[in-house]
Amino acid sequence: MTSRTPATATGARGSAFAGASGGDPSGIRDEPTRPQDATANGLGSGSVPVTGITVTRHLAAAERHASLTADVRAGLTANPRELPPKWFYDATGSLLFDRITRLPEYYPTRREHAVLAANAARIATACPATTLIELGSGTSEKTRLLLDALRNAGVLRRFVPFDVDEETLLRAGQEILRSYPGTSVHAVVGDFERHLAFLPGSASGDSGSAGGVAADRRLVAFLGGTIGNLRPETRGTFLRALRDQFHDGDALLLGTDLVKDPARLVAAYDDSAGVTAAFNRNVLSVINRELDADFDLRGFAHVAAWDPENSWIEMRLRSVREQEVSVRALGLVTRFGADEQMRTEISAKFTLEGIRAELAAAGLGTSAQWTDPDGDFALTLAVPA
């Protein structure tokens, strides 16, 4: 799982990248071909009003629906079947993941929080950033430790949460505005596998003027172990794309879950209360609602398994019987055999040396690494090499 510091908290099961609800909750029109800056005036009917947040959209509702359609068609017709974890995260999925982070078996959130709490001041000293960008941001709970450290250092001017779920971003942004007076919030709605070139302050993004911040130094936080949801080749592409957007003085703070006893790893993704099982099956609810499918959630069992060859956990859904599923929006009928499994997520685990090697291959040098006392979770600060 990514930590969406619950796309979308939204840290890894993170945002793995994506997101939730259709429509435009802020009342600002989406522009599919042209990103748009605007100030959000509200979240829609029954939602908490939001003011003072700049929103840039790179992912319109129509584009998101097209992406879901393509992913589901490809995944259900593949052999073996597979669905991307980004589609876990509608409003229900985000709430379920927030519950997961509080379960006794799910150690990553607690361990990462401990590492941040112990080292946030050191991070702010090493990278006194005026802008904190959080990839895969939603509730941004752990990020407050970084915001506090940067504010205490007297440098914080802007917070940029970046995720696919606009409503979650706006709610989180409102909380940040209330808690950090004088700090501007620039929410970016996008998929960080596709829209990294548009980070505020990057060569292809804005010049830094949004929110009144010019020529700023940026700290990009990618927390929760979300990077583990990417396959190695995709991780490399992602890190190189991020490196290409960095200026001198910018830095990446990367959270990664470390290799450990497989029994602990499996337990973290297969809790005794069944919350992770409900979270896993929620992807079927998303497809049912958005693509007019008829998945029977009771017909699929949650599976979590350790893959030692690839050093990752796999989450899967196992068909408990032979069954036929129609996805009417796609004109697709697919048949599952009894005990057939469909992968819904990978979550890679790392070593400290492996992290440094992957960063180096992308042109990023390791400035510092920190772990919790038990060596369960790591934070790595990386800068352009």
The number of beta carbons lying within 10 Å of the beta carbon of residue 71 is 16
Residue 331 domain-assigned (yes or no): no
* pLDDT tens sequence across 201-222: 865 555 444 444 445 899 999 9
Q: Report the CATH number that the domain containing residue 162 is assigned in CATH.
A: 3.40.50.150
Which domain, by its residues, includes 38?
A: 1-293+349-385
Residue type for position 273: A
Residue with tokens 């949650």: 302
Residue 306 domain-assigned (yes or no): no
Give the model's pLDDT for residue 142.
84
Annotated binding site for S-adenosyl-L-methionine: 136, 142, 163, 191-192
Residue 212 domain-assigned (yes or no): yes
C-alpha 18/C-alpha 158 separation (Å) is 23
Total structural domains within the chain: 1
Torsion sign over Cα 192, 198, 199, 203: positive
Query: How distant, in Å, are the alpha carbons of 55, 169, 276, 302 from that of 269?
Result: 34, 26, 6, 10
pLDDT tens digit at each of 385 positions of the chain:
654 433 333 334 434 333 333 333 232 223 322 334 444 443 333 333 346 899 999 888 888 899 999 999 999 999 999 999 989 988 899 889 989 999 999 999 999 999 999 999 999 999 999 999 999 865 567 889 999 999 999 999 999 999 887 887 888 888 899 999 999 999 998 888 788 888 888 655 554 444 444 458 999 999 999 999 999 999 999 999 999 999 999 999 999 999 999 999 999 999 999 999 999 999 999 999 999 999 999 999 999 999 999 999 999 999 999 999 999 999 999 999 999 999 999 999 999 999 999 999 999 999 999 999 999 999 999 999 9
**Measured between alpha carbons, how far apart are the two ends of the chain, in Å?**
30
Residue 344 domain-assigned (yes or no): no
Give the model's pLDDT for residue 91.
83
Annotated binding site for L-histidine: 106, 229, 269, 345-347
Residue 3 domain-assigned (yes or no): yes
User: Quick check: 270 and 304 in contact, CB under 8 A?
Assistant: yes
**Of 135, 131, 133, whose CA–CA distance to 11 is shortest?**
135
* pLDDT tens sequence across 73-121: 999 999 999 999 989 988 899 889 989 999 999 999 999 999 999 999 9
Give the model's pLDDT for residue 34.
34
In degrees, rounded to 5, the angle at the alpha carbon of residue 170 between the alpha carbons of residues 213 and 22 is 130
Annotated binding site: 106, 136, 142, 163, 191-192, 229, 269, 345-347
* pLDDT tens sequence across 162-198: 988 788 788 888 889 999 999 999 999 888 878 888 8
**Of 122, 89, 82, whose CA–CA distance to 17 is shortest?**
89
Residue 61 domain-assigned (yes or no): yes
Residue 318 domain-assigned (yes or no): no
Residue 190 domain-assigned (yes or no): yes
Cis before 108 (ω within 30): no
Entry pTM: 0.85
